Chain A
Amino acid sequence: MNNKEIKRLLNRAAQSAAPDILDSVLSACEQQKGRNLVMTNAPVSESPRKRRGIRGLAIGLAVLCLVLVGGIGGFFGYQNYYAVDSIVAFDVNPSIQLEVNKEEKVLSAEPLNADASKILFDMDLKGTDLNVATNAIIGSMLRNGYLSDIANSILITVENGDDEKAAALQEQLVSEINQILGSNNIEGSILSQTLSTNNSDLQQKAATYNISTGKASLIEEILDTNSQYTFEQLSSLSIQELNILASAKEVTGVSSSGAVSTKGYISETDARDTALSDAGVQASSVTVQKLLLDWDDGRVVYDVEFYDREKTYEYEIDATSGEILTRKTEVSPLASGDVIGLEAAQSAAVSDAGVSSPTFTKGTLDRDNGRSIYEIEFISGNTKYEYDIDALSGSVLSRKIENVSTSTGSGVSGVIGEDAARQTALSDAGLSASDVTFGKVQLDNDDGRWQYEIEFYTSSGKYEYDIDAQSGSILSKESEATHTVTPPSSPTSSAASAETTPAPSQTTPPSTSSQTASTAPSTSSTPSTTTTPNTNPTLISEQAAKDAAASDAGLSSSSVTFTQVQLEKDDGRWEYEIDFYANNTEYDYTIDASTGSILKRESEQKPSYTNGGTAGGGASSTISIDQAKSLVQAKAPNATLVEISYDYDDGIPTYEGEMREGRTEYEFEIDARNGNFLKWETDYD
Chain B
Amino acid sequence: MFMTVSDSTAKRGSAWNEQHTEQLIVSIAGGDTSALEELYHLTQAPLYAYLLSLLKNSADAGDALQDTYLDVFTTAARYQPQGHSRAWLYAIAKNKAMMTFRRKKIRGEVPEEESGPEPWEDPHLGREERMVLSAALNILSEEERQIVTLHAVSGFRFREVASFLELPINTVLSKYHRAMKRLRRQLSEEEGV
B-contacting residues of A (Cβ < 8 Å)? 1-4, 6-19, 21-22, 24-26, 28-29, 32-33, 36, 51, 54-59, 61-62, 65, 111, 113-114, 117, 201, 204, 207-208, 210, 440, 564, 566, 568, 577, 588, 604, 642-643, 645, 658, 660, 665, 685
Contact = CB atoms under 8 A, between A and B. Distances in A.
Contacts of A113: 105-106
Given A9-B128, A17-B58, A22 B37 contact: yes
A25 B64 CA distance: 11
A207 B70 contact: no
25 contacts: A1-B191, A7-B152, A10-B132, A12-B6, A18-B49, A19-B62, A19-B65, A21-B62, A21-B65, A25-B66, A25-B73, A26-B36, A28-B66, A33-B31, A51-B33, A65-B77, A65-B78, A111-B106, A114-B106, A204-B98, A210-B106, A566-B173, A643-B173, A658-B158, A685-B83
Contacts of B86: none
A12 B5 contact: yes
B48 A17 contact: yes
A677 B105 CA distance: 51
Contacts of B44: 18, 21-22
Please give me the 9 A-B residue pairs with the lowest Cβ-Cβ distance, nearest first: A58-B31, A14-B49, A18-B48, A13-B129, A8-B10, A9-B132, A62-B77, A55-B31, A11-B9
A568 B180 contact: no
A370 B16 CA distance: 58
Interface SS, B side: helix
A658 B161 CA distance: 14
B158 A16 contact: no
B147 interface: no
B183 interface: yes
Given A1-B191, A4-B10, A17-B122, A12 B66 contact: no
A563 to B, nearest CB: 9
B177 interface: yes
B32 to A, nearest CB: 6
Interface in B139-178: 148-149, 152-153, 157-159, 166, 168-171, 173-174, 177-178
A6 B77 contact: no
Given A6-B132, A13-B125, 6 more contacts: A7-B11, A11-B46, A13-B129, A29-B73, A62-B30, A604-B185
Interface SS, A side: helix
Interface in B59-80: 62, 65-66, 69-70, 73-74, 77-78
A51 B32 CA distance: 8
Contacts of A54: 31-33
B122 to A, nearest CB: 5
Nearest to A117: B106
A418 to B, nearest CB: 13
Nearest to B128: A9
A233 B77 CA distance: 40
Given A2-B184, A14-B49, A17-B119, A62 B58 contact: no
A643 B48 CA distance: 27
A51 B36 CA distance: 12
Contact of B29 (A58, A210, A642): A58
Interface residues of B, number: 79
Given A564-B177, A568-B174, A59 B31 contact: yes
B133 interface: yes
B188 A1 contact: yes
B168 to A, nearest CB: 7
Contacts of B148: 10
Nearest to B148: A10
Interface in B8-35: 9-13, 29-34
B45 interface: yes
A422 to B, nearest CB: 15
Contacts of B62: 19, 21
B67 to A, nearest CB: 9
A343 B32 CA distance: 78
A633 B157 CA distance: 20
Contacts of B34: 51
A4 B105 CA distance: 37
Nearest to A53: B31
A57 B31 CA distance: 7
A11 B152 contact: yes
Contacts of B33: 26, 29, 51, 54
A212 B169 CA distance: 29
A10 B49 contact: yes
B102 A210 contact: yes
Contacts of B130: 13
A10 B136 contact: yes
A643 B158 contact: yes
